[in-house]
Amino acid sequence: MDRIRIRGGNRLNGTIAISGAKNAALPLMAASLLTEDTLKLENVPHLADISTMAALLAHHGVKIGLEGDAPNGGHRGRVMSFNAQTITDTEAPYDLVRKMRASVLVLGPLVARIGEARVSMPGGCAIGNRPIDLHLKGLEALGAEIELAEGYIAARAPKGGLKGGHIVFPFASVGATENLLMAACLADGETVISNAAREPEITDLAHCLMAMGADISGVGTDTLTVRGQKTLHGATHPIIPDRIETATYVMAVGIAGGEVELTNTRVDFLKSALEKLTESGLKITPTVKGMKVSRGQHRLKGVDVMTEPFPGFPTDLQAQMMALMSTANGASMITETIFENRFMHVPELSRMGANITVHGASAMVRGVKSLTGAQVMATDLRASVSLVLAGLAAEGETVLHRVYHLDRGYERLEEKLAACGADIERLKG
Ligand code: UD1
User: What does the pLDDT look like over 43-58, one tens digit per residue?
Assistant: 999 999 999 999 999 9
Return the axis-axis angle of helices 243-256 and 318-325, rounded to nearest 10°: 10
Q: What phi and psi values does residue 317 have, to the nearest 5 degrees?
A: -115, 0
Q: So what's the pLDDT on residue 25?
A: 98
Query: Would the pLDDT of 123 be above 80?
Result: no
Q: How confident is the model at residue 372 (pLDDT cuts 50, 70, 90)?
A: very high
Query: Would the pLDDT of 77 be above 80?
Result: no
Q: Which residues are catalytic?
A: 125
Which amino acid residue places its CA nearest to atom 12 of ligand 1? 316
Residue in 182, 239, 338, 380 to alter for ligand 1 test, most ligand atoms within 8 A of Cβ: 338
User: pLDDT tens digit string along 265-297?
Assistant: 999 999 999 999 999 999 999 999 999 999 989
Query: Would the pLDDT of 374 be above 70?
Result: yes
Max Cα–Cα distance, the chain, nearest Å = 67
Q: Which of 95-99, 170-174, 222-226, 360-364 has the lowest mean pLDDT?
A: 95-99
Helix (H, G, I), strand (E, B) or coil at 99: helix
Q: So what's the pLDDT on residue 88?
A: 97
Averaged pLDDT for residues 389-403: 96
pTM attached to this predicted model:
0.96
Q: How confident is the model at residue 169 (pLDDT cuts 50, 70, 90)?
A: very high
Return the axis-axis angle of helices 381-393 and 318-325, rounded to nearest 10°: 20
What value does the mean pLDDT of the chain take?
94
User: pLDDT tens digit string along 313-339?
Assistant: 999 999 999 999 999 999 999 999 999
Of the candidates 320, 383, 342, 404, the one whose C-alpha atom is nearest the C-alpha of residue 49 is: 404
Q: How confident is the model at residue 184 (pLDDT cuts 50, 70, 90)?
A: very high
Averaged pLDDT for residues 65-85: 74
Residue in 49, 130, 181, 344 to alter for ligand 1 test, most ligand atoms within 8 A of Cβ: 130
Taking the centre of ligand 1 as the mean of its atom positions, its distance from the CA of residue 407, in whole angstroms, is 20
Percent of the chain whose pLDDT exceeds 70: 96
Enumerate residues lining ligand 1, CB below 6 A. 23, 26, 101-102, 130-135, 173-176, 197, 201, 315-316, 338-339
**Four-residue CA torsion sign, 200, 203, 209, 210:** negative
Q: So what's the pLDDT on residue 341?
A: 81
